[in-house]
Structure formats: structure tokens, C-alpha cells
Amino acid sequence: VLHWVQAVEGRLPEPTAPVLSGDALYLDSCRLGRGLGVYDAPRRLLAALLGGQVREAIMHREEGGCCGAEAGYAALDHSGPGRVAQDAVADAPDLPVVIADPTCAAHLAPHTGRRVYPLARLLARALVARAPHPEKHLEEPVP
């Protein structure tokens, strides 16, 4: 069984234009990284979608931290998850953040004030941008 990131990466046609310009900070999610041991596939997929480089958090791969949204953490400590989220993105304060877990992405954005993108959303934007008439499919323009 493959995670969708593993099934998709390496199978994309050449991009016509990057869906994000410049570098982006990739954060490993607990489930995909430490849970399933998948580290390289999301980085390769993101690299194919970026106009810059995939930057790593100081704590990454097997040592990657938690986004603060999983395992009921928010129910145990209402202020803790916000601090965890801020710590997770502190390594590169000017970069947009990309994470493969949509739950983490939804948690990180309001707690950090940063541009946070689920990897699946960037992939969807790339695929729509390659469609014959992408403007018919987009609610907002591809950045």
C-alpha cells in the first residue's frame, strides 16, 4: 500500500509554471514521516511544484517535531498547540510552509500567521493550471 504522495511523485508531466515562486519550508508530519517512514517522496513532489528550493526545518525527518494538532494535544493543553506550531516554523520566518498533512496545515496557519499550504492543494493547483482552460477551475489564481 502506498501513500498518495508516493503514488503521485515522479508521475507528473513537466510543470508549465511553478505553483509557488521561491523557496518553501517543508515540515514532516507525524503520520507520514515518523508513522509511515515516508520522507523523500513529499520532498521530491514539492521540488517539482516549486519555483525555488525545498528548505528543511532544523528538526526534520526522523527528528521532526509535531505540528501541535494531532493526538488530542489541543484538548489537553489549550495554549500548548499554538506554541508547538510557532516553534515548528520558527526556522525560516519568511518562507511559506508546506506540509503533507491537511490537519496540520489547517492548524499551523492560524497559530503562526504564516502562509501554509497542504501539499495536496499545491498538487491540485498544478494539475488545474495544466488544464486547457484553468481559469474555469480555479476559485483563486495560481500564485
Q: Is residue 49 part of a domain?
A: yes
Per residue in 46-77, pLDDT (tens digit) is 888 888 888 888 777 877 777 766 665 555 65
- 14 within domain boundaries: no
Write the pLDDT tens digit of every residue in 75-122.
565 566 567 767 777 777 788 889 888 888 887 788 778 888 999 999
In a domain, 3, yes or no: no
The pLDDT of residue 142 is: 45
pTM: 0.78
Phi, psi at residue 24, to the nearest 5°?
-140, 150
Give the range of the structural domain holding residue 59, as residue numbers without chain letter.
Answer: 19-131
Give burial (CB, 10 Å; 0-12/13-18/19+) of 47.
middle
C-alpha–C-alpha distance, residues 132 and 70, integer Å: 39
Give pLDDT, residue 82.
Answer: 67
**Domain count of the chain?**
1
Whether 62 maps to a domain, the answer reads yes
* 102: in domain: yes
- 92 falls within a domain: yes
pLDDT above 50 for 11: yes
